[in-house]
Amino acid sequence: MARVLVVEDEVHLATGIRFNLELEGYSVEVAGDGGQALEQLRAVRGSPASAFDIVILDVMLPGLDGFQVADRMRQGGDHTPVLMLTAKSLPEDVVQGLEAGADDYLAKPFELSVLLARVKGLLRRRDWARSQSDGADTATIGDAVVDFRTFELRTGGEVVHLTLLEAMLLKLLVQNAGRVVSKAEILEKVWNVSPDTETRAVDNFIARLRRYLEADPRAPRFLHTVRGAGYRLTP
């Protein structure tokens, strides 16, 4: 049974979302503000049985806002998939959410069926990134070894824990090794947004992956930018 943390200060919405998720068979907890959410996440870290599988995160919260919560989660090494919910639906808000570390984004008001599908989709994407069916569980890029089952990347003696999106991006590049993958394709397959979304998110993630993989991120040997076309991985 997947566990969901709903971070929402509006009682009506929190109650309604919880009610529906529980009917779908999820086990649900609710946090009323950002600080409480971080505490609840911290409390279950390291115990796989009670860890959350997904966080549904509202943006406008008292205290810490949703962007900050996502940001602090990621910086604290918490890689639970995040679905952001917000009344703001402008493209730049979507982009800000994705850049803060959200894995998916849904504008209020939303269709209940869409919310349930997105939750399921996010869990499925996580499973896809972890899956063994299409390709190997691990990939070797230079000195680095990526394990897609655990989202772990080992370089030398160091272990980096990848976020869902980082793992998915890397997996897409590994599956297409030697071939140029366009930014549009990445946005569509990894971020699940329209391919013409204006965002630096992909560039930021590529830069992050380079820091993990490359000895000198400014002169990449494995993860190349192909100007005007996209990115290419040559392991």
Partner 1 sequence: MASGGSQLSAAQRSKWPHVSMGVALIVVAVALTVGWQILGAEAPSLGRPTLRWVVYFFGSVLSLLLIGGLVLIVILLLREVRLNEQQSNFISAVTHELKTPVASLKLYLDTLRLRELPEARRDDFYRTMDQDLARLNATINSVLNAAMYTDRPVVDPQPLDFARLVKRAIELTQTRHQLAAGTIAYQGPESLRVLGDATALETATLNLLDNAVKYSRDTVEVGVEVGSNGDGQAFLRVRDEGVGITRTHLPFIFKRFYRIGPEVRRSRPGTGLGLYIVRSVVKGHKGTVHAESAGPDRGSTFTITLPGLLDAPARPDHG
**Which residues here bind partner 1, judged by CB under 8 A?**
10, 12-13, 15-17, 19-20, 23, 59-65, 67-68, 70-71, 87-88, 92, 96, 99-101, 108-113, 204, 207-208
What are phi and psi for residue 105, nearest 5 degrees?
-145, 135
Residue closer to partner 1 by CB (options 99, 152) is 99
Residue closer to partner 1 by CB (options 139, 163) is 163
d(CA 13, CA 75): 28
Q: How far is the CB of 160 from partner 1 (least distance, A)?
A: 14
Residue closer to partner 1 by CB (options 109, 157) is 109
What are phi and psi for residue 110, nearest 5 degrees?
-120, 160
Residue closer to partner 1 by CB (options 51, 60) is 60
223: tokens are 């993860």
Q: How far is the CB of 50 from partner 1 (least distance, A)?
A: 27
Q: How far is the CB of 192 from partner 1 (least distance, A)?
A: 19
Lay out the sheet containing 104-107: strands in order across. Answer: 27-31, 3-7, 54-58, 82-86, 104-107
Q: How far is the CB of 70 from partner 1 (least distance, A)?
A: 8
Cα separation values, 88 from 80, 106, 115, Å: 23, 9, 16
Half-sphere exposure of residue 218, counting CA atoms within 13 Å on the CB side? 0
